[in-house]
A and B are shown apart, each in its own frame.
Chain A
Amino acid sequence: MKMLRIISLTCAALIAFSSGLLAQTRSGSQKAAPTGDLAGVWYPSSVNTFNFTWTDPQGQRLNTLPLTAWGQEKFKGNHPIGGEYTALTSNDPNFSCLPPGVPNIYTHAYPIEILQVPGRAVMLFEYDHYVRQIFTDGRDHVKDANPTWLGDSIGKWEGDTLVADSTGFNDKTWLDVTGHPHSEALHLVERFRRVDHDTLMIDITIEDPQAYTMPLKTQRKYILKPDWNIMEYICEDNRVSFLPFEKKVGTTGTKAADVTVESGTSQSIVGDWKGTINLADGRSIPAAASFSATSTGAITAADPSASINYQFQKVAVSASGTITAITADGTNLVGNLSKDRKQITGDIILASGTGHKISMTRP
Chain B
Amino acid sequence: MRSERIRRVALGISFFLISIPLLAHHGASEYDMTKIVTVHGTVTELQFVNPHTLLTFTVKDDSGKAMEWQGELPSPNLLTRRGWSRSTLKPGDQVTVIGALAKNGEKGMQVKKLVFPDGHELPGTVLPPDSSK
Contacts and interface: CB of A to CB of B under 8 A. Distances in A.
B54 interface: yes
Interface string A241-258: 110011011111111111
Nearest to A100: B25
A18 to B, nearest CB: 15
A320 interface: yes
B10 A319 contact: yes
A237 B126 CA distance: 23
Nearest to A108: B25
Main secondary structure of the interface of A (DSSP, over half): loop
A17 interface: no
Contact of B54 (A107, A110, A223, A242): A242
B11 A322 contact: yes
A197 B11 CA distance: 43
A43 B38 CA distance: 31
Nearest to A331: B18
Given A44-B22, A109-B22, A233-B51, A82 B28 contact: yes
A95 B29 CA distance: 14
Contacts of B126: 334, 347
Contact of A249 (B17, B30, B36, B51): B30
Interface stretch (A58-66, A113-121, A186-194, A275-283): A275-283
A170 interface: no
A110 B101 CA distance: 26
B132 A357 contact: yes
Interface string B1-20: 00000111111111111111
A3 interface: no
Contacts of B22: 44, 46, 48, 50, 107-109, 353
Given A241-B47, A241-B49, A319-B9, A254 B105 contact: yes
A32 interface: no
Nearest to B96: A320
Contacts of B17: 326, 330, 351
A126 interface: yes
Contacts, number: 235
A320 to B, nearest CB: 5
Interface in B45-80: 47, 49-52, 54, 61, 67, 70, 72, 74-75, 77-78, 80
Main secondary structure of the interface of B (DSSP, over half): loop
B26 interface: yes
Interface residues of A, number: 85
A39 B50 CA distance: 26
A324 B14 contact: yes
B11 A262 contact: yes
Given A43-B131, A44-B22, A353-B20, A87 B29 contact: yes
A256 B39 CA distance: 16
Contacts of B96: 320
Contacts of A324: 11-14, 36
Given A109-B128, A231-B80, A253-B104, A81 B50 contact: no
Given A257-B105, A261-B11, A109 B25 contact: yes
A146 interface: no
A282 B74 CA distance: 24
A237 B49 contact: yes
Contacts of B130: 43, 225
A50 B11 CA distance: 26
Given A332-B14, A353-B18, A233 B25 contact: no
B12 A316 contact: yes
Given A44-B22, A261-B35, A319-B9, 10 more contacts: A44-B131, A50-B19, A87-B30, A233-B77, A238-B51, A249-B31, A252-B104, A314-B14, A354-B21, A355-B127
Lowest 4 A-B CB distances belong to which pairs?
A316-B12, A324-B12, A353-B21, A253-B104
20 contacts: A50-B20, A81-B28, A87-B26, A87-B27, A109-B74, A110-B77, A126-B77, A199-B133, A225-B130, A237-B51, A238-B54, A245-B72, A249-B72, A253-B106, A254-B105, A257-B107, A259-B37, A262-B11, A314-B14, A320-B115
